[in-house]
Amino acid sequence: MSLELPHTVRKKLSEHTEFISGHDKLQQIRWLSKENYHLTLAFLGNVDYVMVSSLQYALEHKLCTTKAVPFKFSEITPFPFSRSPKIAAALLERTDELIQLQLNVADCVRKIGISIERRRFTPHVTLGRLKSGSRKSLAFQPRQINLEGVSKKVVIFQSELNPQGAVYTALGEISLG
């Protein structure tokens, strides 16, 4: 379950990743295409179509009065913050609107009987995946960015992993006012 990013924001993020990848001489990061950029609100795991349909219906009612959500990116950095980060991510500021949306989505997901991961919500967009052998020797330094936008849509994605990375398919969309 994700917050859709406007095309213009995805394009700007892509410009930042192109700059960073130009300095990645060891090719330690497998960068995602900008079409795959999204802000994950909850990981649902394997959920059957009936549950997805029920979830979309519940979210439409829960979020019917939710306004479009403003967001602001602050940096692109290795993530999570540990000795062995797994991704290159664009981090977002933890705004009240963003936190409330994530809480509402998580509450809705739980109420229809789907278990979600208990990770602390850290608003971020995955831009690239670090290759496993390079995680400890990564030369990529955090890069400050100033990029703002507004999201008008929550999307329920199916994610299928293959050797080239994840393939995302939209299963449902909920518009925000």
Which DSSP symbol is given to 33? Answer: P
This prediction's pTM: 0.88
Q: pLDDT tens digit string along 57-106?
A: 999 999 999 999 999 999 999 998 777 788 899 999 999 999 999 999 99
Return the pLDDT at 133: 66
Domain of residue 24, residue span: 2-175
Q: What is the C-alpha separation between 6 and 3, in angstroms, rounded?
A: 10
Return the pLDDT at 82: 74
State how far Cα 117 lies from the chain centre. Answer: 15
Return the pLDDT at 59: 96
Residues of the chain with pLDDT under 50: none
Phi, psi of 73 (to 5 degrees): -85, 145
What is the count of structural domains for the chain? 1
CATH number assigned to the domain comprising residue 134: 3.90.1140.10
Q: Which residues have a Cβ under 8 Å from the Cβ of 67 and sit 6 or more positions away?
A: 97, 176, 177
Using DSSP's 3-state secondary structure scheme, residue 66 falls into: coil
